[in-house]
Structure 1
Amino acid sequence: MTLKKILAQEQFDELAQSKSFLLVKHSLTCPVSQAAFEEYQEFAEANDVNTAYLTVQEARPLSNYVAEKYSVKHESPQAILFKNGEVAWHASHWKITNKSLREAVQA
């Protein structure tokens, strides 16, 4: 599956209309974030799941919007699974692995 980069609230709101999707917040300057993003890429390429990501350096207002709207404290890296307009699962830092993403989506 292709990784979709989002930068604006409108793009996020469009995604939020889908039944479920996975959003990853990624920092371009953090080695932990890079490792988590590689796990996310591996997961996204091997699974038929609606996915998107944002880089916090380029989309800080969007990152803050998601944190505030869904009451999920901002972290980076961070993975958030949305189902039916609600946060179904989230994880950060070293807890973002191919396995944890797969388990969250299958739950």
Structure 2
Amino acid sequence: MGFLKKIFGSSKPNEEKTLPWQTFTQIDQLKDIENKSKTKTQVIFKHSTRCGISRMVLKQFVASYNLTESDLDLYYLDLLNYRDVSNETGYKFQVMHESPQLLIVKNGVVVAHASHGAINSLNLEQFV
């Protein structure tokens, strides 16, 4: 049972951890993310709300996340509802779209990115 809990997370609401997500819904936010990345690491999580794999990776990401708001800014992009924002993000940062996908932006460029299970293998601390 512990194995399944580790993969899929807890079903008890009081055990759920929340992260300091900023919603990413407008193409204009790309310029802000680029500018802010010059002084603080920006992270974009592109999530497909209809995909079980994306949901599982997101839960694992949340469960293992151990940074603070002062370390980096964390953006959540629902790529099904904001497909144009997702597409423009790929063009702007020259990263081919995948889902789920994590982009790490520093000094105006993507310094690392990963998709699917590789997202949880990234060591975010090294980019702070």
TM-score for the superposition, normalised by structure 1? 0.86
Number of the residue aligned with 2:46: 25
Matched, 1:13 2:52: no
Which protein shows a greater Rg? 2
> Which consecutive residues of structure 1, in runs of 5 or more, have no partner in the other structure?
none
Q: 1:35 aligns with which of 48, 56, 76?
A: 56
| Bigger mean CA deviation after superposition, 48-57 or 80-89 | 48-57
Could you list the structure 1 runs, at least 4 aligned residues long, displaced by more than 6 angstroms after superposition.
none
TM-score for the superposition, normalised by structure 2? 0.73
> Which consecutive residues of structure 2, in runs of 5 or more, have no partner in the other structure?
1-18
Q: Considering only aligned residues, what root-mean-square deviation do their CA atoms show, in Å?
A: 1.6
TM-superposition CA deviations, 1:19-39 (whole Å, max 9, x none): 321101000010110011113
TM-superposition CA deviations, 1:49-68 (whole Å, max 9, x none): 21101011111001000111
- Residues 36 and 93, structure 1, Cα contact 8 Å, conserved in 2: yes
Identical aligned pairs, as a percentage?
29
Q: SS at 1:28's partner residue?
A: coil
Aligned in 2, Cα 1:35/1:15: closer, same or farther, shift over 3 Å? Answer: same
- Aligned pair count? 103
Q: 1:78 aligns with which of 101, 104, 118?
A: 101
